[in-house]
Amino acid sequence: MSFFHTKQVISQLADAGTGIDESSKTFVFEDEGHTLGNALRYMIVNNPNVQFCGYTVPHPSESKMHLRIQMFKGRAVDALKKGLEDLVKMCDHSLLVFNEEMSIYKSEHDSKT
């Protein structure tokens, strides 16, 4: 018996059209808001195959963020995956640079005291 509960944190809204169009999707992120929405939107909109990317937080009482992606070419889910991967890389790089600078600051500060 497992004590861990895996919860689906990303789903997608049903398309309004009659056909299956992989180039336009709206993804729903559970327990997320403006912090992830704005950063992820920024990463995805820099993809040259993306026609539109925007997010909304439908209501403050709901802990959900909707992210809409429309593509010139390709699948929206692939743009989402690349955007998430690029955001992780950017965060990793920022953390690395921060830690390096903090080490330099601490070593300079400790040598002065």
Least confident of 49-53, 59-63, 77-81, 95-99: 59-63
Residue 102 has pLDDT above 80, yes or no: yes
DSSP state of 61: T
CA distance readout (Å), 1 to 4, 7, 32, 74: 9, 17, 29, 41
Q: Model's pTM, two decimal places?
A: 0.80
Question: Where do we find the tokens 């990317």?
Answer: 53
The domain 10-112: what is its CATH number?
3.30.1360.10
* Gap between the Cα atoms of 62 and 29, Å rounded: 11
Instruction: Quote the pLDDT of residue 65.
Output: 95
For residues 46-68, average pLDDT = 94
In the chain, domain spans: 10-112
Residue 1 has pLDDT above 50, yes or no: no
Instruction: Quote the pLDDT of residue 110.
Output: 83
- The residue type found at 68 is R
